């Protein structure tokens, strides 16, 4: 595939720009205990991350997302996570480098995380001003729905064909492809490599530093 330098880039958050596994797992286990269940291992919970808090808790509880117990767990999860969203969460290697390399192109954040916890994390990590548009799970259909990406690109005034979607998971690839973007996967996220590769990203890289190097190589348009 022949790549062109993008006019804008949409980034996923969890597992792509940040390692949030510890704080999400802590909030999930807090919710499980609140509804009378036993806590789970952090690595087990990590496999459920990326498709929104409701689905994460439903998977942790082994229930359907519309079960009443999931509602109770979510009521315990969300306020705790909002207040503790960046206790252990860190930027992943290359996060600042890739955002710097892309300047002055507009950047969008496209996450399935609720807006409250998204903003809490971004502010705590001092990257809240890096994005020209933030599209969260509170704002409409979640990834892999194409609107998660097209809403952001419409706000930036950039056509999908001129944009990249950078993420770590199947839902990022599917949303980006459905929108019409180039899709780039950064290895090492929360999903299994086999599942991510089965979604057929346009390009797979080892780290965000590789994305930064690619941007520099392609130059500016």
Which amino acids are annotated catalytic? 12
Consecutive H or E run containing 167:
strand 163-167
Distance CA 217, CA 84 (A): 39
Longest dimension (CA), the chain: 56
Contacts of 65 (CB under 8 A, 6+ apart): 54, 55, 58
Residues 105 and 7: beta-carbon distance below 8 Å: yes
Which backbone phi and psi does 138 adopt, to 5 degrees?
Answer: -85, -5
Tell me, what DSSP letter sits at residue 62? T
Phi-psi group of 154: left, alpha or beta (phi > 0 → left; psi -120 to 50 → alpha; rest → beta): alpha
Half-sphere exposure of 145 (CA within 13 A, CB side): 15
């Amino acid at each position: 595939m022949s790549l062109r330098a993008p006019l804008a880039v949409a980034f996923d958050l969890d597992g792509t720009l940040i390692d949030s596994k510890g704080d999400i797992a802590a909030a999930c286990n807090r919710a499980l205990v609140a509804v009378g269940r036993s806590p789970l291992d952090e690595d087990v919970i990590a496999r459920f991350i990326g498709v929104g808090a409701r689905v994460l808790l439903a998977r942790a509880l082994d229930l359907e997302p519309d079960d009443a117990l999931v509602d109770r767990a979510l009521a315990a999860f969300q306020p705790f996570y909002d207040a503790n969203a960046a206790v252990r969460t860190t930027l992943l290697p290359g996060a600042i480098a890739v955002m710097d390399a892309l300047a002055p192109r507009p950047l969008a954040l496209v996450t399935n995380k609720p807006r409250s916890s998204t903003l809490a994390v971004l502010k705590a990590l001092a990257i809240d001003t890096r994005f020209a548009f933030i599209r969260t799970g509170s704002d409409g259909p979640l990834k892999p729905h194409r609107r998660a990406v097209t809403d952001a690109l419409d706000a930036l005034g950039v056509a999908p064909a001129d944009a990249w979607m950078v993420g770590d998971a199947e839902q990022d690839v599917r949303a980006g492809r459905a929108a019409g973007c180039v899709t780039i996967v950064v290895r090492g996220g929360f999903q299994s490599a086999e599942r991510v590769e089965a979604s057929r990203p346009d390009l797979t890289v080892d780290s965000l530093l590789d994305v930064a190097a690619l941007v520099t190589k392609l130059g500016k348009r």
